[in-house]
Structure 1
Amino acid sequence: MHQIDIRPLEGKTVHFSLQDFPIEVNFICTNARIFVTTDTTTHADVDIKLKSNVFLQLMQGEDLTELLRQDKFHSWRC
């Protein structure tokens, strides 16, 4: 198990969706926990939209920095 410091995300909402697959959720970071909700009507501090193949690459351990260099992200707004 990996320890991840989520303190910089405290009080933030991250909207995540896939461009070519029906997934759209918000990650709400509060009280040192991350909650996932399908209610996407609330304001998001960060909006991430990916193609499903890029999402799979991330889940398989592909380096985020390298994917950003290759401009694989459809949308990334802070």
Structure 2
Amino acid sequence: MASPCRQYPYAEFLKDWGPESKYADPAGLKLRKQRSCTAGIITSADLPNGEKTLLWVERKDLAVGFSPWPVCNPKMAP
């Protein structure tokens, strides 16, 4: 069951995932590479329009969102 985030208003959700968004047709996504991380999986996805994006799938509840990084444990430069 979906549970909304306090910092992610419904209007923004619809912009990102709604019927007018570039992600509206999940069947059109081509999943490429997956990286297994401790808390979830980073998936590289190709959109029908040729764009690429990184998706994050949380292990505990299978929530899907945008991945904040392309790797599991990013190291910040000093």
Q: TM-score, normalised by structure 2?
A: 0.28
Higher helix proportion (structure 1 or 2): 1
